[in-house]
Amino acid sequence: MFRPINLNHIVANDIQELYYILPVDNFQSVLAHGILSHNAVREINHSDISNSSVQGHREKAIESPRTHKKRSLHDYVNFYLQPYNAMLLVIQDAENLCLLRISKTLLEDRKDQAILTNKNAACSSAEFFKPEDYRLSPTSSKTLTSRCLKGDDGRYLEPSEFNARKPKRQAEALFPDQVPADYISGVFVYNEKTKKRIASMIANSVYAERIDVTVKSSIFPMSGYNAYNQRFSPFEVPCDEESKLATTSSSSSSSAKISSKGRF
């Protein structure tokens, strides 16, 4: 994810990978057409996991920090800098999702087009940067790079502070229109069943033996664990319980020793 020289100020060179959440049903199309922006993909049959109300906010036009021309956020392919973020908590469909790992060479090859943000790009307070100008504040750097969403002093956050920091966890890298599948270095999946589905598509493509598929259950929230669910809220499960949640059913997890404090 990151290899920071200075933990207090994350810069573009610290970014080691980018991440893209994708329905498994769309993976074959990505291999054929690349990763397309929201507007570009309209012409292709695909599964849509986006939230319509959230997408309304992403219709806004943003100004390129390099050219100063304005385009809709929907004209950009958006990648996350941090894979452990609220988007996966909300979708709750681990077995039918995959997380594409995008090589950092994309940032190097297309630095003249790349735009980096300090938080979810749909936020009214989001800022947009050229890669060479990207330098996050200490609070944003801590929020983005920590394994769990905690305060600067290591304590768990109160709900109001958690909600204020959550968008910073969703900082993005934006690229116009399309990103070729050549930049996919690997895929994280929830279980062996999903791995077999993805691996079979890769084996029958020009990317055979070039894209690694890895089971990483801890990235994908368990069924029933939801950021906005009263029973399993992000304020109930501490970081050290995550590996248990990844492999335990919801029924058994309800009897586990779970703190009343929170995790990301």
Averaged pLDDT, groups of 10, the chain, 264 residues long: 82 96 95 95 71 65 95 96 81 86 97 96 94 95 78 68 85 97 97 97 95 92 44 32 33 29 29
Distance of CA 189 to the CA centre of its chain: 13
Specify if 244 maps to a domain.
no
SS3 189: strand
pLDDT in the model for residue 241: 34
Q: Which residues are CB-neighbours of 158 under 8 A, at least 6 positions away?
A: none
Specify if 252 maps to a domain.
no
Strands (E), the chain: 17-23, 35-36, 61-63, 70-72, 76-80, 97-103, 115-117, 128-129, 172-176, 178-179, 184-189, 212-215
Specify if 16 maps to a domain.
yes
Which of 35, 19, 20, 27 has its CA nearest to residue 96?
A: 27
pLDDT in the model for residue 112: 96
Strands (E), 107-179: 115-117, 128-129, 172-176, 178-179
Specify if 259 maps to a domain.
no
Specify if 1 maps to a domain.
no
pLDDT in the model for residue 146: 78
Specify if 236 maps to a domain.
no
Range of the domain at 143: 12-218
pLDDT in the model for residue 47: 65
pTM of the model: 0.81
Domain count within the chain: 1
* HSE-up (13 A, CA, CB side) for residue 168: 21
Specify if 263 maps to a domain.
no
SS3 133: helix
DSSP letter, residue 146 = S
Specify if 225 maps to a domain.
no
pLDDT in the model for residue 152: 61
